[in-house]
Amino acid sequence: MAPINAGNATKKEMALFFNTLSCLVKNLEKQYILVDLRNELSLYGKVINVDAYMNMEMEDVTLYDTRGQEKALSNFYITARCIRYVHMPERADAMALLTSQLSSMTSTKKDKQKRVYKTSRALRNHADTLKDAYTASKQLT
């Protein structure tokens, strides 16, 4: 399993990892998988890296064309737009992979800013306004 480094990921990338299945494919790093492409080619190889957009880097790749011919390649880069289907290994449990990946994805939370006088005064005035509006509405009924 390759956890996502939240320190290097942008907000958009983190949102994509949380809201798409790219985190599932990210979990398949360092494993051999079969990927079908949109142009009817198939690739079998070891996944090296998967990003939030589901672009993949693979090594030790065997490319299968539509006629069944094989071609060995040392490395291959696939853009997400070209991927039709990613075949999961039989031994992989999708739910366990998803839960482990999502639980490992952590980001650093920003510290709460200390309230300054201007902010606390504005909040106090807002609370007073709400209280006055509430009492005025009670008197009307």
| 50 φ, ψ (degrees, to nearest 5) | -135, 130
Buried b (16+ CB within 10 A) or exposed e, 51-63: bbebbbbbeebeb
- How do residues 82-136 score in pLDDT, each as one tens digit? 999 999 988 888 888 888 877 776 655 666 777 788 888 999 999 999 999 888 8
Q: Alpha-carbon distance 113 to 97, whole Å?
A: 36
CA–CA separation, 35 vs 38, rounded Å? 10
Q: Which residue type occupies 127?
A: A
The pLDDT assigned to 58 comes to: 96
* pLDDT at res. 136: 86
pLDDT at 11: 84
Quick check: helix, strand or coil at residue 112? coil
Q: Which residue has the tokens 């006055």?
A: 132
Q: What's the mean pLDDT when you consider all of the chain?
A: 86
Q: Higher confidence at residue 19 or residue 105? A: 19
Q: Does domain 11-111 have CATH number 2.30.30.100?
A: yes
